[in-house]
Amino acid sequence: MRLNIFFLLLLTPLFCYAGNIQITVRSPDTSVIKNIVVYLTPETPLKNKKSVAKSLIINQKNKKFVPYIEVLQKGQKLSFHNSDDITHHIYSVSGQNRFSFKIKGNNEKESPILDHVGEVAMGCNIHDWMSGYVLVVDTPYFTKTNTLGIAGFNNIPSGKYRLTIWHPQLALNNNRIEQTINIAEQSQWTINLPIALLPIPKQASQDEFDFLEDY
């Protein structure tokens, strides 16, 4: 009996202080939205903030950034992989997260560490129609919605959080909407965007060329 009580005491905090939550994002016509960034920022700063060790990879394929948008934690490593057989010159002039470098075909290059929170708009100096975005966040609780429009989080400590939904084509409030949620009281939310997302710019050019021989 004493042993059972001991294990019960060990398990109780897990149920009291952690939860699995689900956030569904819908457009104004109630259709689901996939690949939109969702992240949670604790109202009370974390004492031991965990960091994401896995490096994030953004591909350049068929003269496009794949995926078009990504999200990473401040300080997380980011690499670019050029799957094309031509040179790309990747750059960003966004705030303090600036970088510029060339990647020859079928090569990979690690970007400078992005250690400033905010939106990073990317382009290619050779193929000027290419565009993509990275959002840098200061929280370990971030993801993108799946094909059902659902963002799932596991083992989130109970408490109040600022829920942020972000997409570069969300044309209001710096491309985001926010609200406070209490994970101790609820585990599922459905967020309806007040406006529809703008179309993603066409990632193609009528003037086809690959790269200058001496670039």
Summarised one tens digit per residue, pLDDT across range 119-163 is: 999 999 999 999 999 999 999 999 999 999 999 999 999 999 999
Nearest to 23 by CA among 119, 135, 142, 197: 142
* pLDDT tens, position by position, 100-115: 999 999 999 999 999 9
- Taken in order of first residue, the domains within the chain and their CATH numbers are 17-45+54-192 (2.60.40.420)
Give CA–CA dist 166/112, Å, rounded.
23
* Residue 43 near residue 180 (C-beta atoms within 8 A): yes
Give CA–CA dist 123/25, Å, rounded.
28
Q: Report the pLDDT value the prediction gives residue 207, as an integer from 0 to 100.
A: 65
Question: Which residues fall within 8 angstroms of residue 101, CB to CB, at 6 or more apart?
Answer: 89, 90, 91, 109, 111
* pLDDT tens, position by position, 158-197: 999 999 999 999 999 999 999 999 998 899 999 999 999 9
Give CA–CA dist 189/167, Å, rounded.
18
